[in-house]
Amino acid sequence: MWRRVTSLSHLLSSPKSSPQLTPTSYGPKIWETLSTEVSKKSGGGIFSKERSPFITFVLGGPGSGKGTQCSRIVETYGFTHLSAGDLLRKEITMNSENGAMILDTIAKGKIVPSEVTIKLIRKAIESAENDKFLIDGFPRTEENRIAYERIVQIGAEPNIVLFFDCPEEVMVKRVLSRNEGRVDDNIDTVKERLKAFRSLNLPVINHYSNKGVLYKIDGTGTEDEIFERVRAVFDAWK
C-alpha cells in the first residue's frame, strides 16, 4: 500500500470546517483494523481486507486537463486509469441497453443516472488486477458519491482527490479546440456542462476538501507545468 511520506499540507485545499480528517489521521494500521471490523459486519462491498486499492478521484471542469494528466500519471506511477466518460461513451459505441439514453444525456451536457455509471466503474475495478486506480470524472454529483460509497462499503473514502482548478474561459477554449469528434464538444453543450460542474460537482469537491483529502492543482499553463504540480502530490507517496 502507498503511504504518504512527505508533508503535503501546502497543497491541501483549505478546509471549510474543522476538525479535519487529514490523510495522516487514518494511517494504514488503524485503517486495517477498521477495515476488518466493517468487513465482518457488511454484506460485502467490492473492496475487502484482502483488496483495498489506492483510489484517486480526478475532478475538474470540462477541459480542465483531467484525461491529459491521468495519462501522465499512468506512465509515471503505474495507475490504472478509469474515465467515467470513456466508460459511458463505450456503452454508446457498443449500442448497449443504455446506449441511447447515455448518448442523449451526454449530448445535452447532463449527468447519467448514478446506477448506470457505478455499474461500469464497479465492473472495471473488479476486472483489473492493479491496486492503484485513477477514477477520472467521478463522482460528478453527490448522488454519484453516495452510490460509490454504497458499493465500496470498505474504504469508501478515496485516498486522494485531485481537483484541476482552471478558469472557465481556458476550459472552453481547450474543449472547443479538442478534435476528437465528441458529441458534447460544442459551445451549447459546453455551457450546460459548465453549469452542471458548478451546481453538482463543486459540492462534491467541497465535501472532499472538508474531509481533508482534496489536492487543488492549478490547471493553467503547459501540460508539463501542470504535471510538475501533480508530481508534487504523488512523489510524496510510495
* For ligand LCLUPRNS, the closer CB: 47 or 138: 138
Shortest distance (Å) from residue 161 CB to Mg ion: 16
Minimum CB–partner distance for residue 137 and ligand LCLUPRNS (Å): 3
Q: x/- contact string, 172-211, with ligand LCLUPRNS (CB under 6 A)?
A: ------------x--------x------------------
- Asked if 23 interacts with Mg ion (CB under 5 A), we say no
| 3-class DSSP state of 65 | coil
CB atoms within 10 A of CB 48: 16
Confirm if 91 and 120 have CB atoms less than 8 A apart.
yes
158: three-class secondary structure by DSSP: coil
**Triad 175, 85, 158: Cα angle to 5°:** 110
Q: Which of 53, 67, 139, 158 binds Mg ion (CB under 5 A)?
A: 67
Segment contacting Mg ion (CB under 5 A): 65-73, 125-133, 143-151, 159-167? 65-73
Say whether 14 counts as a known binding-site residue: no
Closest chain position to Mg ion (CB): 67
Query: By three-state DSSP, how is residue 28 classified?
Result: helix
* Binding of ligand LCLUPRNS by 137 (CB under 6 A): yes
> Taking the CA of residue 72 as centre, how many other CA atoms within 13 Å lie in the half-sphere pointing to its CB?
15
Answer for which of 79, 138, 164, 215 binds ligand LCLUPRNS (CB under 6 A) is 138
Chain-centre distance for alpha carbon 82: 9
Written as nine digits, the cell of 187 is 459551445
Which is nearer to ligand ATP, 85 or 139 (by Cβ)?
Answer: 85
Q: Record the cell numbers describing residue 204, joined without a space.
A: 462534491
